[in-house]
Amino acid sequence: MTDPKQLNAQQLVSYLAENAGHWIESQRAQHRVHADPLPDTTVAALSGFFGQRTLDRTRIRHVASIENPAFYKEFEEAGEAFPLDFTVWAAITFGDVILVNGAQVPGPPSHSVVFHEMVHVVQYDVLGVHEFARRYVTPFVQSRFNYMAVPLETDAFDLQGRFEEWSGEPFSAEEEIRSLVGEPGLPYSGSR
């Protein structure tokens, strides 16, 4: 058993990134077989913002609730708060599988919510699951658990905000995400 209290920041980054990566992979595998392609209305609303290949391969599933990962037990046992409580999130994305949290979103999710998660689908595509986890966890721990300090998240919120205000021809969110994630020397690059 790992006691999170005994870890320094760098050890906590490694511990969380490794566990998160495995959790994302297993959640993706578990839910993908039960998930559906995006509904036609969603594809129509997001077309142009995302490429056809991305819209085609994404899967979505409504679940009654989103559960926190099993490794959170170690935080609980150490008397620590959970790093991120996923049970209150509207949705979460594991690779190319979007889970919509029925406890927060009883009906069909808005296009805006799905748009936000699609940003993560593209980020995962560029980075792979384990690098995505590392680039999420590193700034998250460094900012003392503020997920609004995570560039993967702030980019998603920025683009989502633009999408909500947008009228007229779509802008290619997908191209922007791919160039943002690839930019060297920014917090994205993390520490190697």
Piece of 32-40, 53-61, 65-73, 154-162 that binds Zn ion (CB under 5 A)? 154-162
Number of residues that bind Zn ion (CB under 5 A): 2
Question: 19 vs 93, which CB is nearer to Zn ion?
Answer: 93
CB of 91 to Zn ion, least distance (A): 8
Terminal C-alpha separation, the chain: 26
Does 92 engage in binding with Zn ion (CB under 5 A)? no
Closest to Zn ion by CB, 99 vs 156, is 156
Q: Which of 160, 190, 165 is nearest to 177 (CA)?
A: 160
Least distance (Å) between residue 156 CB and Zn ion: 4
Alpha-carbon distance values, 81 to 75, 78, 84, 156 (Å): 7, 9, 9, 25
User: By CB under 5 A, what part of segment 16-75 binds Zn ion?
Assistant: none
Write down the least CB distance from residue 120 to Zn ion, Å. Answer: 6
Give me the least distance between CB of 11 and Zn ion, in Å please. 26
Identity of the residue, 77 or 161, whose beta carbon is nearer to Zn ion in the bound complex: 161
**Residue number, 75 or 136, with CB nearest to Zn ion:** 136
Q: What gap in Å lies between CA 147 and CA 39, rounded to an integer?
A: 29
Residues 6+ apart with CB under 8 A from 78: 3, 4, 5
Part of the chain binding Zn ion (CB under 5 A), chosen from 123-131, 149-157, 160-168, 176-184:
149-157
From candidates 12, 156, 173, 177, binder to Zn ion by CB under 5 A: 156
Least gap, CB of 6 to Zn ion (angstroms): 30
Task: List the structure tokens of 42.
Answer: 């969603």
Length of the chain: 192
Give the torsion through C-alpha atoms of 36, 42, 44, 46, to 10 deg. Answer: -110
Classify 131 as helix, strand or coil. Answer: helix
Residues lying near Zn ion in the complex (CB under 5 A) are found at 153, 156
